[in-house]
Amino acid sequence: MATINLSETSRTPGWYATFITRLRRNVPFTVGLGILWLAAVVVVAIFADQIRPYDITAMDLSSRLSRPGVLKHLLGTDELGRDVLSRLLQSVRVSLIIAFGATILSAVFGTALGFAAAQFRGAVEHLVLVLADFQAALPFLIMSLAVLAFFGSSMVLLVCLMGFYGWERYARIARGLAISASSQGYAASVVQLGATPARVYFHHILPNVASMLIVSMTLTFPEIILMESGLSFLGLGVQPPETSLGNMVGFGREYLTRAPWIMLAPSVVIMLTTLSISIVGDWLRDKLDPTLS
């Protein structure tokens, strides 16, 4: 009996405390804050419909441009009496959905092109390089401006367009890594065993280059958030009545003198989010990529 008691008492100070101390040792304080903020943002994005106090288009004309800090409208209201907090929560959701969709699109597209260049070489490789040169020659914002203005902005087009952002980075990484991987033993041996190129790339090479691709996703993600909010700020991204972080800043700009809170609330969210992603991303990069010091 005594032995059982002993083992139980030695375990009870147990998992929670050790988890915390381990966490403290492995995760720096700022990184922890960043992770917390990002987790909160994701939760908000998922449950935006449930937690926002008002509908985003619900107008309360009796309390237009009311100051923040009042219980009824915690972050104040805009020029039509719409609740800034509710719109902010919805904006977080919209901006995050666009950024997620676009990051995944551009990772898939870029990686596929990079692998294609590595597999076929020759003309395909030259074509990919020319496309990358083209992307480098025309700033993304300018290209998007032209496309969005002439095709009209829609959510689908916006995500697809943003999905081209940064593809050349993935393509370059995927191509370089695939070329070096195919000269290594493991790829050659599965080819000898009769694997199709698709199997070699997706089952053997992709898992080996995944960490580098994840690292570049942490770079692309905040840039896409900034790009989307920049476009929305210029009035060419997300269109009203839908709202996004950049869109809120853009419209809040009209009321900069009388109601700065309309524009400050989304600005702070953009800043904290991109800051958190780059802090957490830097940390992740050091953890995942042993070649960087």
Partner 1 sequence: MIRFIAVRILRAMITIFAVVTFAFVVLRMSGDPAQVMLGPDVPQEAVDAFRRSWGLDQPLWIQYLAYIKSIFSGDFGVSMRDKASALDLVLQRVPATLQLTLPALLLKLALGIPAGVYAALHRQSFADRGVILLAVLGFTIPSFVMGLLLVLIFAVTLGVLPSGGQDTWVHGILPTVTMSIGGIGILARFSRSAMIEVMGQPYIRTASAKGLKWHDVVWNHALPNAAVPIVTIVGFMVGSLIAGAVVVESIFSWPGIGRLLIVSVSNRDLAVVQCILLNIAATMVVSNLVVDLLYGWLDPRLRSNAAH
Residues that bind partner 1 (CB under 8 A): 130-131, 133-134, 136-139, 141-143, 145-147, 149-151, 222, 226, 229-230, 233-234, 236, 246, 249-250, 253, 256-257, 260, 263, 267, 270-271, 274-275, 278-279
Nearer to partner 1, 173 or 205 (CB): 173
Question: In this structure, what are the phi and psi dihedrals at residue 77, rounded to the nearest 5 degrees?
Answer: -130, 165
Cβ at position 260, least distance to partner 1 in Å: 6
Cβ at position 20, least distance to partner 1 in Å: 26
Nearer to partner 1, 35 or 195 (CB): 35
Cβ at position 183, least distance to partner 1 in Å: 17
Separation CA 279–CA 86 (nearest Å): 28
Cβ at position 7, least distance to partner 1 in Å: 45
Nearer to partner 1, 200 or 248 (CB): 248
Nearer to partner 1, 51 or 146 (CB): 146
Distance between terminal CA atoms of the chain?
52
Cβ at position 285, least distance to partner 1 in Å: 12
Question: In this structure, what are the phi and psi dihedrals at residue 65, rounded to the nearest 5 degrees?
Answer: 50, 40
Nearer to partner 1, 107 or 248 (CB): 248
DSSP 204: I
Separation CA 74–CA 83 (nearest Å): 8
